Amino acid sequence: MITAAHANNPNPYIQGTDLFGYVGIEAVLDQMRRKTIKAGLEFNIMVVGQSGLGKSTLVNTLFKSKVSRKSCTPNYEEKISKTVKLHSVSHVIEEKGVKMKLTVIDTPGFGDQINNDNCWDPIVKHINEQYEKYLREEININRKRRIPDSRVHCCIYFLPATGHRLRPIDVEFMKRLGKIVSIVPVIAKADTLTIEERHEFKERIREDLTVNGIDVYPQREYDEDPEERVLNDRIRESLPFAVVGTDKEHQVNGNKVLGRKTKWGIIEVENVAHCEFANLRDLLIRSHLQDLKDVTHDVHYETYRVRRLNESNVDFSDLSRSARPLENGCADKCESDSHL
Amino acid sequence: MDAIMLQEKLVERLLCPRVRTARQKEKQYVGFATLPNQVHRKSVKKGFDFTLMVAGESGMGKSTLVNSLFLTDLYKDRKLLNAEGLILHHLRSPSCHHHLSAASPCDPPPSPSALLCRCCAERIHQTVEIIKHTVDIEEKGVKLKLTIVDTPGFGDAVNNNECWKPITDYIDQQFEQYFRDESGLNRKNIQDNRVHCCLYFIPPFGHGLRPVDVEFMKALHEKVNIIPLIAKADCLTPNEIKKLKDRIREEIDKFGIKVYQFPECDSDEDEEFKQLDKELKECTPFAVIGSNTVVEARGQRVRGRLYPWGIVEVENQSHCDFVKLRNMLIRSHMHDLKDVTCDVHYENYRAQCIQEMTSKLAQDNRVDSPVPILPLSTPDVETEKLIKMKDEELKRMQEMLNKMQQQMHDKDQ
Give per-residue pLDDT as tens, B336-362.
888 888 888 888 888 888 888 888 877
Spatial contact of A188 and A160, defined as CB atoms under 8 Å apart: yes
Q: Which of residues 130-169 of B touch A (CB under 8 A)?
A: 156-161, 163
Please indicate whether residue A139 or residue B119 has the higher confidence score (pLDDT): A139
Give the DSSP letter of residue A74: T
Q: How far apart are the first and last CA of chain B?
A: 31
Contacts of B59 in chain A (CB under 8 A): 160-164
- State how far residue B57 is from chain A, nearest Cα, in angstroms: 9
The pLDDT tens digits for A290-310 are: 888 888 888 888 989 888 888
With CB atoms and an 8 Å threshold, state whether B238 touches A262.
Answer: yes
Per-residue confidence (pLDDT) for residue A140, from 0 to 100: 83
Q: Place A157 in a pLDDT band, splitting at 50, 70 and 90.
A: very high
Q: How far apart are CA A257 and CA B309, in angstroms?
A: 14
- Closest residue of A to B291, CA-based? A194
Q: How far apart are CA B177 and CA B46, in angstroms?
A: 22
- State how far residue B299 is from chain A, nearest Cα, in angstroms: 15
Q: Is B184 on the interface with A (CB under 8 A)?
A: no
Contacts of B298 in chain A (CB under 8 A): none
Per-residue confidence (pLDDT) for residue B20, from 0 to 100: 53
Per-residue confidence (pLDDT) for residue A186, from 0 to 100: 92
Burial B347-376 (b: 16+ CB within 10 A, else e): eebbeeebeeeeeeeeeeeeeeeeeeeeee
Examine the pLDDT at B126 and tell me if it is beyond 80: no
For A131, the 3-state DSSP assignment is helix
With CB atoms and an 8 Å threshold, state whether A195 touches B308.
Answer: yes
Give the DSSP letter of residue A286: I
Q: Which of residues 389-408 of B touch A (CB under 8 A)?
A: none
Spatial contact of B156 and B57, defined as CB atoms under 8 Å apart: yes
Please indicate whether residue A317 or residue A279 has the higher confidence score (pLDDT): A279
* B113 → closest Cβ in A115, A160, A166: A166
Give the DSSP letter of residue A325: -
Examine the pLDDT at A8 and tell me if it is beyond 60: no
Examine the pLDDT at B374 and tell me if it is beyond 60: no
Question: How remote is the C-alpha of B351 from its chain's centroid?
Answer: 23
Q: What separation in angstroms does the CA of A221 have from each of A163, A229, A234, B146, B258? A: 29, 9, 15, 55, 56
Mutate to test the interface with B, among A57, A189, A263, A276 (most CBs of B within 10 A): A263
Examine the pLDDT at A15 and tell me if it is beyond 70: no
Contacts of A115 in chain B (CB under 8 A): 158-161
Give the amino acid at B248: I
The pLDDT tens digits for A74-91 are: 444 445 566 678 888 888
- Closest residue of B to A212, CA-based? B113
In 10 A of CB B291, how many CB atoms? 23
Spatial contact of B305 and A194, defined as CB atoms under 8 Å apart: yes
* B111 → closest Cβ in A50, A166, A264: A166
Q: Is the dihedral of CA B332, B338, B343, B349 positive or negative?
A: positive
Percent of chain A whose predicted confidence (pLDDT) is above 70: 81
Q: Place B138 in a pLDDT band, splitting at 50, 70 and 90.
A: confident
On average, the pLDDT of chain A sits at 79
Residues in chain B: 413
The pLDDT tens digits for B70-90 are: 777 655 544 432 333 333 333
Rounded to the nearest 10 degrees, the angle between the axes of helix B165-183 and helix B347-363 is 80
Give the DSSP letter of residue B269: S
Q: Is B207 on the interface with A (CB under 8 A)?
A: yes
Examine the pLDDT at B112 and tell me if it is beyond 60: no
* B113 → closest Cβ in A50, A114, A208: A208
- Closest residue of B to A265, CA-based? B310
- State how far residue B155 is from chain A, nearest Cα, in angstroms: 8
Q: What are phi and psi of B347, to 5 degrees?
A: -65, -40
Mean local confidence (pLDDT), B191-213: 86
Per-residue confidence (pLDDT) for residue B133, from 0 to 100: 84
* A51 → closest Cβ in B59, B157, B206: B206
On average, the pLDDT of chain B sits at 75
**Full DSSP string of A153-184:** -EEEEEEE--SS---HHHHHHHHHHTTTS-EE
Examine the pLDDT at B182 and tell me if it is beyond 60: yes
- Closest residue of B to A110, CA-based? B158
With CB atoms and an 8 Å threshold, state whether A163 touches B59.
Answer: yes
Residues in chain A: 340
Q: How far apart are CA A91 and CA A103, in angstroms?
A: 6
- State how far residue B340 is from chain A, nearest Cα, in angstroms: 30
Please indicate whether residue B31 or residue B372 has the higher confidence score (pLDDT): B31
Mean local confidence (pLDDT), B114-141: 62
Per-residue confidence (pLDDT) for residue B1, from 0 to 100: 53
Examine the pLDDT at B225 and tell me if it is beyond 60: yes
For A37, the 3-state DSSP assignment is helix
Q: How far apart are CA B273 and CA B276, in angstroms?
A: 5
pTM of structure: 0.73
Give the DSSP letter of residue A73: S
Mutate to test the interface with A, among B65, B113, B125 (most CBs of A within 10 A): B113
- State how far residue B106 is from chain A, nearest Cα, in angstroms: 12
Q: Place A187 in a pLDDT band, splitting at 50, 70 and 90.
A: very high
Contacts of A52 in chain B (CB under 8 A): 203, 205-207
Q: Place B14 in a pLDDT band, splitting at 50, 70 and 90.
A: low
Per-residue confidence (pLDDT) for residue A1, from 0 to 100: 44
- Closest residue of B to A163, CA-based? B59
Please indicate whether residue A318 or residue A45 has the higher confidence score (pLDDT): A45
- Interface contacts A/B by beta carbons within 8 Å: 127
Examine the pLDDT at B111 and tell me if it is beyond 80: no
The pLDDT tens digits for A217-276 are: 888 777 778 888 888 888 888 888 998 888 788 877 888 888 888 888 888 888 888 888
Give the amino acid at A314: V
Examine the pLDDT at B363 and tell me if it is beyond 60: yes
Q: Is the dihedral of CA B178, B181, B182, B187 positive or negative?
A: negative
Q: Which of residues 224-263 of B touch A (CB under 8 A)?
A: 232, 234-238, 243
The pLDDT tens digits for A104-156 are: 888 888 888 888 888 888 899 999 999 988 888 888 888 877 888 889 999 99
- State how far residue B249 is from chain A, nearest Cα, in angstroms: 16
Question: For the sheet containing B294-297, what is the strand order?
Answer: B294-297, B300-307, B310-313
Examine the pLDDT at B160 and tell me if it is beyond 60: yes
Mean local confidence (pLDDT), A17-34: 79
